[in-house]
Structure 1
Amino acid sequence: MLDRLDKEFAFGREALDVRAYRQELLSSNIANADTPGYKARDVEFSSALAGALKQNGTASNASTLKMAQPVSLSTSASLAVTSQRHMSGTATSGTSGGSTDDYGKLAYRVPNQPSLDGNTVDLDAERVQFADNALHFEAGMTVLSSQIKSMLSAITSNS
């Protein structure tokens, strides 16, 4: 039963993962607008999503996609204690979850107007791409949210 639900939401999850990754790239481009020699990077959403959904040559088996795995966080540090009542312990720090390898290759933007310092960030174009991507991310969240609400409504309806 849960496998069917997981497969139902796999496309929306992957689309949101790719949009979030693209948002990171675009914000990095904007942050480095004044960095000499910085090359603006981006990923084409449609090809990145297709690559993320590809599993053994087909996109139908989406339940074992790498990026759809839950992310967990663990920390590593030994704590210094100055009192016997302090908590002692060690934990490890690291994240697990999907890899961005399936997003496809990053592409460098071809600048409309190259700068003398080698920076290829066009701040106006990056801001437009950032806003467009954010709008599509919100739309994807709305669609996924409505799917969840309709399933909850079907589960809880008294018929």
Structure 2
Amino acid sequence: MSALGFQNSLGIHQQALLVRAQRTEVLANNLANSDTPGFKARDIDFEAILRGEVSKNASLPVERTSSKHLAGRGSMNQDMLYRTPYQPAIDGNTVDDNVEHAEFTKNAMAYNATFEFLNSRFTGLRSALRGE
């Protein structure tokens, strides 16, 4: 099976797993800073990123400002948004623990679902290669 055939068999799910992992980091950072005065909660627009992935069928974009920089797996800064709080805190912090926990839980469930899907794909590919 060629590398292109292998990529086609996984579809967008490998990129989705990476984006979900990065979103987990962003949401965890929000939760860790829930008591930091002036901290602004952020999130990733998962659907917009994947729409971009589907349209260009490539890895996440990376801006390299120097030829000496290593190629990375992508920057989410252009796709990160500030969360609008339902009730802003007096100290300027926009983290709502309930919202962040709910988003973190939904993201974790989606991550696990994507992981299980990829795992089943690998199991199927392994069976096909073995001729089972």
TM-score > 0.5, shorter chain as reference: yes
- Aligned-residue CA RMSD (Å): 2.1
Work out which of the residue numbers 97, 111, 123 in structure 2 matches 1:137.
111
Question: Match of 1:123, as an amino acid?
Answer: D
Question: Shift in Å at residue 52 of structure 1?
Answer: 2.9
SS in 1 for 2:38: coil
- Report the residue type matching 1:27 in the other structure: A
Contact 2:39 2:93 in 1 (8 A): yes
In structure 2, the partner of 1:84 is none
Q: Distance in 2 between matches of 1:52 and 1:100?
A: 13
AA aligned to 2:5 is R
Q: Matches of 1:38 and 1:97 in 2, distance apart? A: 27
Aligned identity (percent) is 35
Q: Which residue of 2 aligns with 1:66?
A: 59
Post-superposition shift, 1:10? 4.2
Does residue 98 in structure 1 map to residue 73 in structure 2?
yes
SS in 2 for 1:17: helix
Give the Cα separation in 2 of the matches to 1:104 and 1:142: 29
* TM-score, structure 1 normalization: 0.70
Q: Give the C-alpha shift of residue 43 in structure 1.
A: 1.3
Quick one: which amino acid aligns to residue 35 of structure 2? D
1:79 aligned partner: none
CA deviations over 1:108-151 (Å, ceiling 9, x no partner): 11101110000000011101110110010000000000011011
**Structure having the higher Rg:** 1
**Larger relative strand fraction:** 1
1:13: which partner in 2?
A: 14
Following superposition, which runs of at least 4 residues in structure 1 exceed 3 angstroms of deviation? 94-97
Instruction: Give unpaired runs (5+ residues) of structure 2.
Output: 62-68
Q: Secondary structure at the match of 1:21?
A: helix
Shift of 1:95: 6.5
Q: How many correspondences in the alignment? A: 124
Partner of 2:124: 150
TM-score by length of 2: 0.84
CA distance in 1 between partners of 2:124 and 2:72 (Å) = 28
